[in-house]
Structure 1
Amino acid sequence: MKRISTGKRLFHYALLYKRTIIFALVMLTFAVAAELTGPFIAKKVIDEHMRGIESPWIEVETKDDQTVEYNGLFYKRSSNVTEQDTVGDAQLQIVQVGRSFYSTNQHLSFDGDREVNGQQLTVIKGNQEATYQIEKLSQKEIFAFYQPEIKPIVILLSFYVGLLVIAGFFQYGKTLMLQKAANRIIQKMRKDVFEHIQRVPIQYFDNRPAGKIVSRVTNDTEAIRELYVKVLATFFTSGIYMTGIFVALFFLDTRLALITLLLVPIIALWVIVYRKLASKYNHLIRTRVSDINGMINESIQGMPIIRAFQRKEQITKEFEDLNYEHFTYQNKLLSLNSLTSHNLVGVLRNGTFVVLIWYFGGQSMDAAGIISIGMLYAFVDYLNRLFQPVTDIVNQLAQLEQARVASERVFELLDEKGENVAEGEISRYEGNVQFTNVTFSYDGEHDVLKNINFQASKGETVALVGHTGSGKSSIINLLFRYYDIEKGKITIDGNDVSALPRQHLRKHMGIVLQDPFLFTGTISSNVSLDNPNISEEQVIKALKDVGADRFIEKLPKQYDEPVLEKGSTLSAGERQLISFARALAYDPAILILDEATANIDTETEAMIQQALNIVKEGRTTFIIAHRLSTIRNADQILVLDQGEIVERGNHEELLRQKGKYYQMHQLQLGKEVSRVS
């Protein structure tokens, strides 16, 4: 099956909330359109109203709000003359030279360099030269010619302010919608990752520290959240903003707009080059973050050992080494960003303005009057605006690459093959277990179990004993299908366990470990694990059956007493009693006790043994034990050595054989015996 790219998978997550994102982008488009009208309005104000008084003026007979009285006559700009106006013979043109304004009763036939000599204006354009009689205007007269333009300017500026208010509203809506969508996406992604962790096989966790896995669920998904909240939002915003600016530039001047379009492939090329350079450092940085998380988690878990054996300096040095490597790679990435991002924007900005100066300075000077001041202002304004999104894009490249690497790590976890979740229920089985010629290896090379054969009937108690590494726990792991075998067969009630869905198989199994794990919550919730099918009465009965009520009823809140992580406020024996009650509350058909009484004092062990004699009736019980006193009454004892069953029988039968079991029994009694071959 072809693997879907990281980008496509991120896109598929975004599609889950496409309505919100599309709505946000529509709001963004309206906001950009409203904001980018500013230079157009400024151009209109400059060219048509501020510089518009240099347009030809024509004498009219009637006065209105667009006419100007000058030398006893009424004048109106030619562009404002309508068919209803009665036009006279006089004509007028206002000319600005330097900071002074002059009037002439002729319209300029062409424009160019202007020179004033007394009452005479000379206009020079190439080989052309024209002379006009002029009259200097007073400040009052200048203001009179500007008077008709004040109202349109105020209207245009008010319109622009209104557009800015609208743009601000849409920008707020866009930001809110995009961030909501991003938070929803990451919420869904974290849920998927956490659920998938519950489905991956147990062996996935064998060689991976918990801190590294936690880093993928928290740190890496947070980096992806930044991708949606900041990076993609910036890219969307900048993309629409730049599109709007280029559209506006094409309206102003097609040729110069085409030149500025060269920025797009340059930015695209830079993104490709940057990602290639930064990818290595980002992979190393994310890996070191996982290593640091793993080490911190391990150090906290092992803090009593670190202090007891005075390993603080060694642990600190190992942490500092990891932290220094992380610091080094961060600095290298920072150097890459500093060397390129702002420098790139500066080069692009300066290069574009050089083109602008050449174009307007070199071209428009030969075509006087074609390029207006308003046009120049609009182009400069749009180019200044253009480089803000360019800067935003370049500055987000580092975050983009970090998010991409984090995404790869998260999807790598999601790509781990998980256990299928089957629908429906399975009826409680009898508990007849049989291993037939089972051979198993964790690594595919070294067998930890070799040709295991035994049968446990309903209601029997089977004990597994042997030295460390003999294969006792491996038998239980196979029974729970934490691992699958390649040789042999395991059946329950005659059904091959490999054909049963794992969650169905384990539904009627219970286990009590040597080191019981309690979750943050209450004593009651740690027994029921919040299973709605287990009532409060069943929880209390299970706790009383194992004798846990003796210490629980002395607690302030009794069965609702808060439990901290791992049950750190309870003793080892108390935690184990709660773990026993948990197994009993689920009423398993098969109960596994994995060194369950190893950390319990003799009095508590006697209490549990008494409870177990009652609760194991009608169910198959497997006991892994080093303390042989706990298995004296087992129906069947299997003695394992180097992955093989070397002896089997009950307690008395094995003692009579005087083999390995007898040797272990004598050693625990404190007696010296000769080595039994």
Structure 2
Amino acid sequence: MRPAQAINNWQADQKADPNMPEQKPEYVSAFRALSGYARPHLWSFIAVIGCTLIAILSDLMQPFLIKIAIDDNLLSGKNDYKGLLAICGIYLGLAISSLLFTYLQNNLLQNIGQSIVARIRKQLFGHILKQSMRYFDRMSSGSLITHVSSDTEALNQFFNQVLLSLFRDGFTLIFIIVLMFQLDTQLALYCLILLPIIWGIAVAFRSYMRTTYQLARTRLSRLVAFVAENLSGMNLVQVFHQQKEQQKQFDERNSSYFKANLREIGTNVIFGRTFDILSNLSIAFVILAGGNSVLDKQLEFGVLYAFVTYIRQFFQPINTITQQWNTLQSATVAVTRIWGVFANKPDITDRDHEPLDLHNLELEDEADERQASLSNLNLEKVKGRIDFNHISFSYEEGVPIIRNLDLHIKSGELIGVVGTTGAGKSSLISLLCRFYDVKEGSIRIDETDIKDIPQATLHRLVGLIQQEPYLYSGSIIDNVRMFDESISPKEVIRACEFVGADSIIKKLKNGYESQLSERGSGLSAGERQLISFARIIVFKPKVLILDEASANLDSHTEQLIQHALQIVSQGRTTIVIAHRLSTIMQADRIIVMSHGEIVEQGSHQELLELEGHYKELYEHSQGHS
């Protein structure tokens, strides 16, 4: 395949996959940013270079010793046995020195590389966690998994393989050229003719190989994204018997990635074998030219032996570097993709949040500390009054979801929010949690605009219980206290007793120490909800939001949740988005939404008397036509 055709195919792949971030040729900028992580390891790099130089010299002096043994002893007729023994001893010492310093060089470089990659992986995951919900709306989880796992692993290979090869093989090449000129200037000049040829081959392959590796990485990301989506929706796949269709789509993506990999491997093989041919031709030429000089007694045999050995070693580092070319290209693409993630700034930021410097990412940790210092709002004094002041919002420009909504909720009030699908109920809650920002108007808690409240503080003020509460892999205690060890197990147990989850938890084999699998698959929906209610008791938010929390529960479990709701709503402002009207009939006030606007509000009885939208919803819920 021609390079131009490969580029067109890669661009077509990117257009077909909207989840993939655009690949821009910002390689220099990305590696410049990467150098900032290497700066703290400067002295370790100097030690690596020192060990590399000693190891290389120990290797390259061995053929020179044999040359001395041949020309100055054996062929000269001296037969100096002691001199040969001395040369053997020095040879053995050089071999041991090479082994020792190669070991030190490898371990030092591995330590540097692993430290840098671990830090980047940590900051990458932390940066993803800070992104706004809009970012996750447009990015698939599979693509993000690829960035955190595969791309950082490619970067790891850069330090473990490419950088090691550049240090060791680059210096080896330089020293071999110096030694060849030391042995015979004319033969060395003949060999240097190869350098422009090698350079030309490298330049010719460079653009094509980069495109090939980008294509493989893009298709891998698409494959991972597809697998992640299918695993998360496996129940839907099986219920609708989509196994064959999903297998077919997987096979298409897998085949596409397979072909890209074959192209990548084929390109690498052709590139590497080209240098093998050049190496063999060079050795044949040196033997021919050098052999004639030896026969004419213009060149010593030991010099020819050493020269042939160095020619073999001359192509070994070049061949090794070329073998690492695909790893270098993968690392280059990975670095650009990783820094593409870092370049995405959250839509939702705190007022004093400073822009992220891509060339000095260590400043991000300092920014986190500054933001933490802004979170000193006294949570105990917050009463929980909420004001939605003529807010408007849309996910996409020109498609309004909420229109000029004006709503005021007193502290301690229990509010029910109902409406048909698409009425804007969940969007209203997302705005209060500041997952998104309003386009117009403002949202205030106790007269303070939520944009002026640090997000860490806001999310302690506002507790959210969703329809599908998320539980992590870990013990029940850790899931209730969200791995915050400042909260004691006794507080967790009291909270679970308070909401009625204690009797359920004690039935488990290990009680509160029972280990939950991902998403708490060992528990029923109601049991997971009770644990999420216990979280509210533990963290004591001033505002509580329930987003369809009882929509998928049976009547018995719903009664448990209703009881828990009565307990946790005491003393705090509560907003309940309800699909079942029975869950909010006792609310202080019920808000009826339609097309992003409040069309009715009042108590259950008052709304029935209006004979409007609420009564229609109520009769529908009771089974009336």
Please tell me whether residue 413 in structure 1 is matched to residue 341 in structure 2: yes
Q: Is the 8 A contact 1:17 1:185 kept in 2?
A: no
Aligned-pair Cα RMSD in Å: 2.0
Indicate if the aligned counterparts of 1:274 and 1:397 stay in contact, CA closer than 8 A.
no
The partner residue of 1:491 within 441, 444, 459 is: 444
Distance change (3 Å), C-alpha of 1:307 and 1:257: same
Three-state SS of the structure 1 residue aligned to 2:451 is: helix
2:29: which partner in 1?
Answer: 5
- Name 2:266's counterpart in structure 1: 335
Aligned amino acid, residue 51 of structure 2: M
CA distance in 1 between partners of 2:199 and 2:75 (Å): 40
3-state SS in 2 of match to 1:667: helix
| Cα shift readout 1:172-194 (whole Å, capped 9, x = no counterpart) | 11112212222222211111111
Whole-angstrom CA distance in 1 between matches of 2:200 and 2:168: 20
Q: Matched residues in 1 for 2:46 and 2:198: separation?
A: 25
Structure 1 position 351, deviation (Å):
4.5
**Residue 375 (structure 1) aligned with residue 332 (structure 2):** no
Task: Find the aligned partners of 1:650 and 1:669 in 2 and give their Cα distance.
Answer: 18
Pair 1:18 & 2:42 matched: yes
Asked if the contact 2:607/2:614 (under 8 Å) is kept, the reply is yes
Matched, 1:320 2:251: yes
Question: Which of the numbers 422, 439, 445 marks the counterpart of 2:392?
Answer: 439
Q: Which residue of 2 aligns with 1:352?
A: 282
- What displacement does 1:371 show? 1.8
The CA distance in 1 between the partners of 2:294 and 2:73, in whole Å, is: 21
Q: How does 1:34-49 map to 2 (within 5 A)?
A: 34-49=58-73
| Contact 1:595-1:626 at 8 Å conserved across structures | yes
Q: How far does the alpha carbon of each residue in 1:348-376 deviate from its partner, in whole angstroms, 9 at most, with x for none?
A: 224433653565367677xx544211211
* CA pair 475-190 structure 1, distance change in 2 beyond 3 A: same
Q: 1:379 to 1:498 in 2, by over 3 A?
A: same
CA distance in structure 2 between the partners assigned to 1:457 and 1:525 by the alignment:
33
What is the aligned partner in structure 2 of residue 512 from structure 1? Answer: 465
Which of 411, 414, 423 is the matching residue for 2:372? 423
User: Which protein shows a greater Rg?
Assistant: 1
Q: CA deviation at 1:423?
A: 2.1
Q: Counterparts in 2 of 1:552-571, with a 5 A limit?
A: 552-571=505-524
- Structure 2 Cα separation of the partners of residues 509 and 607 of structure 1: 23
Q: How many residues align?
A: 575
1:173 is aligned, of 104, 113, 131, to: 104
Judged with a 3 Å threshold, the aligned counterparts in structure 2 of structure 1 residues 562 and 253 are, in CA distance, closer, same or farther, namely same
Alignment match, 2:365:
none
CA contact (8 A) 1:271 1:397 kept: no
- Give the Cα–Cα distance (whole angstroms) in 1 for the partners of residues 63 and 107 of structure 2: 27
Structure with a larger share of its residues in strand: 1
Gaps (5+ residues) in structure 2? 1-24, 354-367
1-side partners of 2:204 and 2:457: how far apart? Answer: 52
Residue 303 (structure 1) aligned to one of 234, 243, 255: 234
2:162 alignment partner, SS class: helix
CA distance in 2, matches of 1:197, 1:262: 51
1:520-578 deviation line (CA, Å, top 9, x unaligned): 00111100011133222221121111111121111221111111111111111111111
Displacement after TM superposition at 1:262 (Å) = 4.4
- After superposing the two structures, state which structure 1 stretch, 503-512 or 259-268, moved more: 259-268
Runs of 4+ in 1 over 6 A off after TM superposition: 362-365
Partner of 2:544: 591
Q: Which has the higher contact order (CA 8 A, sep 6+)?
A: 2
Residue pair 1:461, 1:621 contacting (<8 A) in 2 also = yes
Q: CA deviation at 1:443?
A: 1.5
Number of the residue aligned with 1:293: 224
User: In 1, Cα distance between the equivalents of 2:338 and 2:293?
Assistant: 56
Instruction: Please say if 1:196 is aligned against 2:127.
Output: yes
Q: Distance in 2 between matches of 1:169 and 1:266?
A: 36
Q: Name the residue aligned to 1:668.
A: 621
Query: Equivalents in 2 of 1:646, 1:198: separation in Å?
Result: 37
AA aligned opposite 1:210: S
> Match for 1:197: what amino acid?
I
Q: What is the one-letter code of the residue matched to 1:395?
A: Q
Map of 2:10 onto structure 1: none
The corresponding residue for 1:233 is 164
Asked if the contact 1:546/1:577 (under 8 Å) is kept, the reply is yes
Paired residues of 1:306 and 1:312 also in contact (CA < 8 A): yes
Structure 1 segment 21-100 matched on structure 2, within 5 A: 21-53=45-77
CA contact (8 A) 1:595 1:624 kept: yes
How far did 1:202 drift?
1.6
Displacement after TM superposition at 1:259 (Å): 4.1
Q: Is the 8 A contact 1:511 1:591 kept in 2?
A: yes
Q: Is the 8 A contact 2:71 2:302 kept in 1?
A: yes
Match of 1:394 in 2: 322
Matched letter for residue 371 of structure 1: L
User: Which letter maps to 1:293?
Assistant: V
- Sequence identity, in percent? 35
- Give 1:550's match in structure 2, choosing from 503, 509, 514: 503
Amino acid at match of 1:223: A
Equivalent residues in 2 for 1:527-676, closer than 5 Å: 527-672=480-625
The TM-score, its normalising length taken from structure 1, stands at 0.82
Amino acid at match of 1:372: E
Give secondary structure in 1 for the equivalent of 2:590: strand
The TM-score normalised by the length of structure 2 is 0.88
Confirm or deny: 8 A CA contact 2:526 2:561 kept in the other structure: no
**More divergent stretch after superposition (492-501 vs 523-532):** 492-501
Distance across 2 between alignment mates of 1:447 and 1:355: 77
Higher helix proportion (structure 1 or 2): 2
Between 1:354-363 and 1:444-453, the stretch displaced more is: 354-363
2:178 matched to 1:250? no
SS at match of 2:214: helix
CA distance in 2, matches of 1:599, 1:544: 23
Deviates most, 453-462 or 275-284: 275-284
- 1:61 equivalent in structure 2: none
SS in 1 for 2:372: coil
Distance 1:464 1:257 in 2: 85
Which range is displaced more, 517-526 or 650-659? 650-659
Query: CA shift at 1:269, angstroms?
Result: 4.4
1:273 and 1:19 map into 2 onto residues whose CA distance is 37
> Structure 1 599/550 Cα, relative in aligned 2: closer, same or farther at 3 Å?
farther
Counterparts of 1:267 and 1:502 in 2: how far apart (Å)?
56
Tell me if 1:458 matches 2:389: no
Q: Which amino acid aligns with 2:37?
A: Y
**1:403 is matched with which residue: 311, 331, 347?**
331
Alpha-carbon distance in structure 1 between the residues aligned to 2:479 and 2:176: 61
Q: CA deviation at 1:197?
A: 1.3
Q: Please report how far the alpha carbon of residue 459 of structure 1 lies from its aligned counterpart in structure 2 after TM superposition.
A: 0.4
> Following the alignment from structure 2 to structure 1, what is the Cα–Cα distance between the partners of residues 193 and 409?
78
Distance 2:204 2:601 in 1: 68
Determine if contact 2:536/2:568 at 8 Å carries over to the other structure: no
**Deviation of residue 255 (structure 1)?**
4.0
Distance 2:556 2:462 in 1: 27
Question: Which stretch of structure 1 is more off in the superposition, 571-580 or 352-361?
Answer: 352-361
User: In 2, Cα distance between the equivalents of 1:665 and 1:491?
Assistant: 31
More divergent stretch after superposition (320-329 vs 272-281):
272-281
Q: CA deviation at 1:263?
A: 4.4
Cα contact 2:469–2:528 (8 A) shared by 1: yes
